[in-house]
Amino acid sequence: MAAAVAQAFSSISNGTLTPPYTPNGTDSKEISRSSSPHPTITSEQNLLRLKAHLQNLPTDLLKHVHLSKIRREDPALYFSAIRDDLTGLAPIVYTPTVGEACQKYSHIYQGPEGLYLSIDDKDRIPEILAEYAANLSTTPQILVVTDGSRILGLGDLGIGGMGISVGKLNLYVAGGGVNPHGTLPVVLDMGTNTEAIRNDPLYIGLRRPRASLEEATEFMDKFMAAASSAFPKAVIQHEDFYSEAAFAFLEKYKNQYRMFNDDIEGTGSVILGGFMAAAKQASAASGKALKDHRVVFLGGGSAAVGVAKEMMNFFRMQGLTEDEARERFWLIDTKGLITSTRPDVVSGKIASHKKYFIRNDTEGKEYPSLADVVEYVKPTALVGLSTTFGAFGEDVVRRMAELNETPIIFPLSNPTSKCELSFSDALDWTNGKVLFASGSPYAPIERDGLLREPGQGNNFLVFPGIGFGALQAGATKVSEGMITASAISLSEALNDEEKKAGLLYPRLDRIREVSAKVAAGVVKKAQEEGLDTNEKLRGLDEKALVEEMNKAQWWP
């Protein structure tokens, strides 16, 4: 079938639109059968062989490339390997290695992995998607779409952003239990502003500067309408759009389509969930009321603003008003603390998404550096979403430990090469007192006879459950309430052993269980808000909903 579809597509495509992709290998059964040279070779042997081969490959990028090939040829084998060792393979198929894979996408390209749509084809998007849908044997349920403009903290990688759409969908399958044949990675090629990429002879995307937001919006309008019409039940996840576009698209489409933005909302959810656990531990140690936590953010982009807004719910739960909750946050960008007296704020040039968190209480004084802000605010928590490696320096981290019994420090920028603070420095500079979560994984460290396990504050703990829950509920949209419900479900997913070990997040090897709980929370909220259409799930209590989510999960 794939060949037939490819042919159908090549007849209407040009430019960078590649032939249609069979989502994560729609025709995998056929491929597996024909690629097996002898009928006595078992799937167990194939799995053992894959694991042995991976161990012999010298770099994580080579492992990533090999696994990508396996995923296209034999998804069941690929997802069996991930099922057996998610903790070991997540850093290969996802952050940090996926960042390098996106940077080198055109160099390691082995064939289409998803749907590549070029802005040059924007007037034919409805036709292209309708034909694509008509030729698929399985209907996509989850689409992850990027324009490649802000891939992790690595900047504008153009068409290389396809790697992130693929990586996220692998986690939808491995972590959330979505059927791989129901996943569709999409990249919208709108050019790239990274000149070195445009000049690379191997680059497979459009060699033009990135489209303006106005032109991009015209393209997105067509894509969102056509994708929702071709796949009316699918959930569309927006991923790694540069901050201005991310907010503009979320605002425009959130009430119109079944979509959410992972960087703004998924990250908001996962950090709210982890902060709930961290704040409780910190308050138990210090005696400080939960409502009195103070949070400083390094970064004022889509992730920082999205997380700060979602974290406000923590303070609302403590009884604060919206204004009082907002007062618990201080955001810093490259120009320092965002204050009402800063020249770019006074002149009105500040990006609109930052305006909500402008501080009006600094009496004309500016605080240009993180150290200045920490001294001024005396925060209980520090969150890094600045894309700046090592930005949480020794002085600042030591000061946090002087100010707090157990400082909460979340350096969340990805990949590891952009992370604000390593786990070992965090432990050393706080004398082991830190409550830590990073965006990309760090290994546990033994300290004072105890094994210290870092948290991984990464949206992959929630987006599979958000998408799966919205899908199962048949939700008409993904509401803010559903996002907050996902955070609460995540915070309630810690088991007794994990709580005793002081973890902020459930262990990765329980991700399927956790995703089912997150999805159930999302379904429940959709029902409460009257946004669900799946009548079969109505009237079920939380336990029954979790069971339904478990039952609906696909296993390799």
Q: What are the binding residues for a divalent metal cation?
A: 239-240, 263
Choosing from 63, 104, 122, 168, which is the catalytic residue?
Answer: 168
**315 to 354, contacts with ligand NDP by CB under 6 A?**
332-335
Only one of the segments 134-142, 375-383, 455-463, 483-491 lies at the binding site for ligand NDP (rule: CB under 6 A); that segment is 455-463
**Of positions 121, 240, 333, 532, contacts ligand CC(=O)C(=O)O by CB under 6 A:** 240
Query: Cβ distance 476 to 528 under 8 Å?
Result: no
- CA-to-CA distance for 283 and 289, rounded, in angstroms? 6
118 binds ligand NDP (CB under 6 A): no
**248 to 267, contacts with ligand CC(=O)C(=O)O by CB under 6 A?**
262-263
548 binds ligand CC(=O)C(=O)O (CB under 6 A): no
**Of positions 64, 104, 124, 150, contacts ligand NDP by CB under 6 A:** 150
Closest approach, Cβ 414 to ligand CC(=O)C(=O)O, in A, equals: 4
What are the CA-CA distances from residue 382 to residues 277, 293, 385 (Å)?
15, 11, 10
Q: What stretch of H or E contains 511? A: helix 511-528
**Of positions 28, 269, 459, 515, contacts ligand CC(=O)C(=O)O by CB under 6 A:** 459
Number of Cβ within 10 Å of residue 352's Cβ equals 10
- CA-to-CA distance for 270 and 471, rounded, in angstroms? 19
Query: Cβ distance 117 to 125 under 8 Å?
Result: yes
- CA-to-CA distance for 72 and 70, rounded, in angstroms? 5
- CA-to-CA distance for 202 and 312, rounded, in angstroms? 46
What DSSP assignment string belongs to 131-200?
Answer: HHHHT-SS--SEEEEE-SSS-TTS---GGGGHHHHHHHHHHHHHHH---GGGEEEEEEE---S-HHHHT-
Between 167 and 379, whose beta carbon lies closer to Mg ion? 167
Closest approach, Cβ 415 to ligand CC(=O)C(=O)O, in A, equals: 8
Binding mask 247-266 for ligand NDP (x = CB under 6 A): ----------------x---
Closest approach, Cβ 152 to ligand CC(=O)C(=O)O, in A, equals: 4
Please classify residue 85 by burial: count the beta carbons closer than 10 Å to its beta carbon, then call 0-12 exposed, 13-18 middle and 19+ buried.
Answer: middle
Between 68 and 243, whose beta carbon lies closer to ligand NDP? 243
Query: Cβ distance 173 to 179 under 8 Å?
Result: yes
**Of positions 133, 136, 142, 152, contacts ligand CC(=O)C(=O)O by CB under 6 A:** 152
101 binds ligand NDP (CB under 6 A): no
Binding mask 397-416 for ligand CC(=O)C(=O)O (x = CB under 6 A): -----------------x--
267 binds ligand NDP (CB under 6 A): yes
Between 238 and 399, whose beta carbon lies closer to Mg ion? 238
Binding mask 50-89 for Mg ion (x = CB under 5 A): ----------------------------------------
Enumerate helices (H) and strands (E) in the chain, giving the number of each.
25, 14
- CA-to-CA distance for 207 and 23, rounded, in angstroms? 26
Closest approach, Cβ 164 to Mg ion, in A, equals: 7
Between 243 and 484, whose beta carbon lies closer to ligand NDP? 243
Q: Which two tokens stand for residue 155?
A: 């900047």
Asked about 94 being catalytic, the answer comes back as yes
Q: Which two tokens stand for residue 529?
A: 């808000």
Number of Cβ within 10 Å of residue 113's Cβ equals 23
Give the total residue count for the chain: 556
153 binds ligand NDP (CB under 6 A): yes
Whether the bond into 39 is cis, omega within 30 of 0: no
Residue of 10, 29, 96 whose CA lies nearest to 60: 96
Those residues whose C-beta lies under 8 Å from the C-beta of residue 323, and which sit 6 or more positions away, are: none
388 binds ligand NDP (CB under 6 A): yes
Closest approach, Cβ 334 to ligand CC(=O)C(=O)O, in A, equals: 19
Tell me phi and psi for residue 111, to 5 degrees. Answer: 145, 165
Query: Cβ distance 457 to 300 under 8 Å?
Result: no
Query: Cβ distance 258 to 476 under 8 Å?
Result: yes
**Of positions 103, 380, 404, 413, contacts ligand NDP by CB under 6 A:** 413
**260 to 319, contacts with ligand CC(=O)C(=O)O by CB under 6 A?**
262-263
Degrees (nearest 5) of the Cα angle 544, 550, 553?
A: 145
**Of positions 100, 121, 156, 263, contacts Mg ion by CB under 5 A:** 263
Which residues of 258-388 form beta strands (DSSP E)? 259-261, 295-298, 329-333, 336-337, 381-384
Between 146 and 414, whose beta carbon lies closer to ligand NDP? 414
Between 75 and 301, whose beta carbon lies closer to ligand NDP? 301
Helix extents (H) in 177-266: 195-198, 213-230, 243-253
Closest approach, Cβ 447 to ligand CC(=O)C(=O)O, in A, equals: 27
301 binds ligand NDP (CB under 6 A): yes
521 binds ligand NDP (CB under 6 A): no
Asked about 168 being catalytic, the answer comes back as yes
Tell me how far the alpha carbon of residue 48 is from its chain's centroid: 30
Only one of the segments 49-57, 176-184, 296-304, 531-539 lies at the binding site for ligand NDP (rule: CB under 6 A); that segment is 296-304
Those residues whose C-beta lies under 8 Å from the C-beta of residue 2, and which sit 6 or more positions away, are: 22, 26, 27
454 binds ligand NDP (CB under 6 A): no
Choosing from 21, 63, 78, 94, which is the catalytic residue?
Answer: 94
Task: Map residue 330 onto helix, strand or coil.
Answer: strand
Q: Which residues are annotated as a binding site?
A: 150, 239-240, 263, 414, 458
Please classify residue 343 by burial: count the beta carbons closer than 10 Å to its beta carbon, then call 0-12 exposed, 13-18 middle and 19+ buried.
Answer: exposed
Q: Which two tokens stand for residue 241?
A: 């759009």
Between 263 and 453, whose beta carbon lies closer to ligand CC(=O)C(=O)O? 263
Question: Which residues are known to be catalytic?
Answer: 94, 168
Residues forming contacts to ligand CC(=O)C(=O)O in the complex (CB under 6 A) are 152, 240, 262-263, 414, 439, 458-459
Residues forming contacts to ligand NDP in the complex (CB under 6 A) are 150, 152-153, 243, 263, 267, 270, 298-304, 332-335, 385-388, 391, 412-414, 418, 439, 457-459
